[in-house]
Structures are given as C-alpha cells and as structure tokens.
Amino acid sequence: MDCIFCRIISGDIKSDIIYRDDLLVAFRDINPKAPVHLLIVPRKHIACLADVEDDELPILGHLMAAANRLAREAGIADKGYRLVVNCGPDGGQEVAHLHLHLLGGRQMRGLG
C-alpha cells in the first residue's frame, strides 16, 4: 500500500512508536509543531474523518481515550493540550489516513 501511515503500522517504515494496541498506533511526528507532538492513527485505513462509517464510530472514541492517556503519560494533561484532526486537502490533511495530532508542552495559540 502507498499510505505512509499503513507502512508505519505494518513496520515497513521505522518510526518512534510510543504506543500500540489492537485498534491504533501512536508515534512521534517527524516534524513536530510543539514539544510534544504525537500522531495517533487507527490501524484500519480510513482516508479521513468524513469517511468514517457507523460501524467505525467506536474507533473515534478509542482514539480520543488514547490521546488523553498519552497526554497524561507525557505530563501535559494538567496544563492542557490540543487535539487536531484535519480532513481533506482544504482542511490541511497531508496524509490520507485518519489521524489525531496531540500537541502540548507549551502555550497553544490561535484557533480559539
């Protein structure tokens, strides 16, 4: 498959994976925008949030719960963190595989 995230999940491309379970894989972004910048990616290839089917909704909850757990483990949960989901080219999505950006470790400005 040409999807870089699918290749990271399968182990074809090495990455700094910090968490994995049956539904997702989390790894450090290679171009971090904050001191903590993790990507949380479902193992199942779903191109973007707009493509999530009803039977895949539990994956979204699992991604959010994992993000909260990873934020606690990274020591950023108490002061706060940002979760970002980009959807499609106009939404800034660069890799066509659903993923969450977990950002923290500094004051996050803008968008709110």
Judge whether 99 counts as a catalytic residue: yes
> How would you label 13-46 residue by residue, b for 16+ Cβ within 10 Å and e otherwise?
eebeeeeeeeebbbbebeeeebebbbbbbbbeeb
Q: How many CA atoms lie within 13 A of 53 on its CB side?
A: 5
Exactly one of 45, 62, 97, 99 is catalytic; name it: 99
Query: Which of the residues are catalytic?
Result: 99
